Every structure is written in structure tokens, then in C-alpha cells.
């Protein structure tokens, strides 16, 4: 059994089983990543504003 048969077997497995899973998931994963990214962005921006306000009130820090 040569290496080409091994790679063809892997190819058949991927085409028959893995792509079916990806087709059934659809765009749900993509939309979930986008929503999670925006949630993380706004979470980080809220804490950044808190830290900036705290830094503006502290006159003993290096700038």
C-alpha cells in the first residue's frame, strides 16, 4: 500500500463526513464569532474608560 492510497482514504473521509458537518452548521458559527467579538470589544472599551477616568483623577502617576 503506497502513500497515495493513504492520502486518498483521508480525502474520502474528509469529503464524505467532515463537509457534511460543516454544511449543517451553516453560518451560525460565523455569526456567533462576530457577536462574541463585539461583546468582547464593548467589554474591553468599558474597562478602558474606567481605567482612563481613574488615571485622570490620579495626579501621582507618570505620563
pLDDT tier at 63 (50, 70, 90 boundaries)?
Answer: low
Per the domain annotation, does 19 fall within a domain?
A: yes
The enclosing H or E element of 62 equals: none
The pLDDT, as a whole number, for residue 15 is 85
Segment 5-60, tens digit of pLDDT: 999 988 888 888 887 777 778 788 889 999 999 999 999 999 999 999 988 888 78
The torsion angles phi and psi of 54, rounded to 5 degrees, stand at: -65, -40
The pLDDT, as a whole number, for residue 32 is 92
Per the domain annotation, does 23 fall within a domain?
A: yes
Report the number of distinct structural domains present in the chain: 1
| Residue 48 structural domain | 3-57
Q: Is 51 helix (H, G, I), strand (E, B) or coil?
A: helix
Q: Is 44 helix (H, G, I), strand (E, B) or coil?
A: helix
Per the domain annotation, does 63 fall within a domain?
A: no
Per the domain annotation, does 44 fall within a domain?
A: yes
Amino acid at each position: 500500500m503506497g502513500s497515495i492510497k493513504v492520502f486518498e482514504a483521508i480525502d474520502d473521509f474528509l469529503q464524505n463526513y467532515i463537509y457534511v458537518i460543516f454544511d449543517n452548521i451553516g453560518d451560525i458559527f460565523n455569526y456567533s464569532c462576530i457577536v462574541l467579538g463585539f461583546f468582547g470589544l464593548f467589554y474591553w472599551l468599558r474597562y478602558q474608560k474606567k481605567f482612563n477616568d481613574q488615571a485622570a483623577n490620579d495626579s501621582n502617576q507618570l505620563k
